[in-house]
Amino acid sequence: MLEKWVLNRKGGMHMKYALIGCGRISPNHIAAARNNGLDIIAICDIDPSCMADKILKFKFGASVRQYTDYTEMIEKEKPDLVAVCTESGKHAEIGLFCIEHGCNCIIEKPIALSIADADAIIAASIKYHVKVCACHQNRFNKSIQIIREAIDMNRFGKLFYGTAHIRWCRDHEYFDRASWRGTWEQDGGALMNQCIHNIDLLRWMMGGEIEEVVGMTDRLNHDYIEAEDMGIALIKFKNGSYGIIEGTTDIYPKNLEETLYIFGEKGTVKAGGQSVNVIEEWRFSDLLDDPTEVKARFHENPPNVYGYGHTPLYADVINAIKQDRQPYVNAMDGKRALELVLAIYKSAAEGGSVRFPLKECATIDFKGMFSNS
């Protein structure tokens, strides 16, 4: 279980770390870097006030240099590990620059906004012999780890279907704080931004390989953004199982839940809570464990939807670098999550099913899908 990723505070010693993008998610990355003993040498943001806020919050000294140009930072500081936490539309450009300069990378979700850019990241990581992790930290939730263990042990028997539900709220203020949010060029909508973590989990749990997808999207309550605020999809996996995705940012008046269900021949599981961090149902025919005990042991109550997964994710990436292996969540995993969201968009736009693999597709292809984009 999770213990295999836990490092002592000296685990990342002598590994130089830099952060690009000091916005909403960056405190989780800084905390994870500190928890793993990384040497934080520099941070970068085009807005100096964002850096000043993190300098104050984390009480950084003068040894942490500040940059407004990530290229200058990479060339001068030569970090071993870089976290890319900018707006989504910049992930590929920045990630590729870092990779080409020999830096291992943790790239926030989504890893890119096009199949071509995701493929370029994968190819560059191989060419330059660096490790790239797609930051899908919910895979490290205690609840998700015990479900994945049950999958690997074949406790479900034949998998029938799984469902992912993301019922969140994003109001006008959220989009006002960053003009790139909800745009096709720099973000996408609810599925690409808020729902992609659970979409990643569903594909991962159900076997990964997809035959076809049918999707519908709409913008029901956010006429001031370009992309969707609601999406529904039906997935047919190559192993004969099915998946259902239902995600929205239209819930009133605040986030309601994020849940993942897995149904099989010999097992039924539900993970719920703020961000699939609570086991709510645990039923298996093999009776290997006590459901009450499992629910108590694999229950987490994080302060926000980001959960506690960043620290073990960072620990795994550090170990992957040291052991010269792929991270637990690698660049290909990031592409798979991206591919599924893009396929839903494509199906919704064209009004039919989309077969896999998806060849060429990008969020920008859907500009104009709703009236003001």
127 and 206 fall within a common domain: no
| Local confidence band at 8 (pLDDT 50, 70, 90 cut-offs) | very low
| Local confidence band at 275 (pLDDT 50, 70, 90 cut-offs) | confident
| 243 C-beta neighbours (distance < 10 Å), count | 24
pTM of the model: 0.96
Does 372 map to a domain?
no
| 173 C-beta neighbours (distance < 10 Å), count | 7
Residue 147 phi, psi dihedral angles, 5° rounding: -65, -45
Whether residue 14 has pLDDT greater than 60:
yes
Looking up residue 125, the CATH number of its domain turns out to be: 3.40.50.720
Convert the pLDDT of each residue in 92-108 to its tens digit. 999 999 999 999 999 99
Provide the token pair at 328.
Answer: 């637990």
19 and 162 fall within a common domain: no
b/e burial code for range 17-47 (CB count within 10 A of at least 16 → b): bbbbbbbebbbbbbbbbbbbbbbbbbbbbee
Contact 95, 128 (CB under 8 A): no
Q: What pLDDT is attached to residue 35?
A: 96
Contacting residues for 223 by C-beta, under 8 A, at least 6 apart: 371, 372
96 and 235 fall within a common domain: no
Convert the pLDDT of each residue in 199-217 to its tens digit. 999 999 998 799 999 999 9
Helix axes 331-350, 196-205, angle to 10 degrees: 110
134 and 9 fall within a common domain: yes
| 136 C-beta neighbours (distance < 10 Å), count | 26
User: CA-CA distance, 314 to 308, in Å (whole number)?
Assistant: 11
Does 371 map to a domain?
no
Does 291 map to a domain?
yes
Q: What pLDDT is attached to residue 12?
A: 60
**More confident site: 248 or 301:** 248
Q: What pLDDT is attached to residue 227?
A: 98
**More confident site: 278 or 9:** 278
Convert the pLDDT of each residue in 294-342 to its tens digit. 999 999 988 888 889 999 999 999 999 999 999 999 999 999 999 999 9
32 and 93 fall within a common domain: yes
H or E element at residue 202? helix 196-205
Whether residue 289 has pLDDT greater than 50:
yes
| Local confidence band at 5 (pLDDT 50, 70, 90 cut-offs) | low
Q: Residue 244 is part of which domain span?
A: 141-303+336-366
Provide the token pair at 346.
Answer: 């494509």
How many separate domains does the chain show? 2
- Give bridge partners of residue 283 from the DSSP assignment: 268
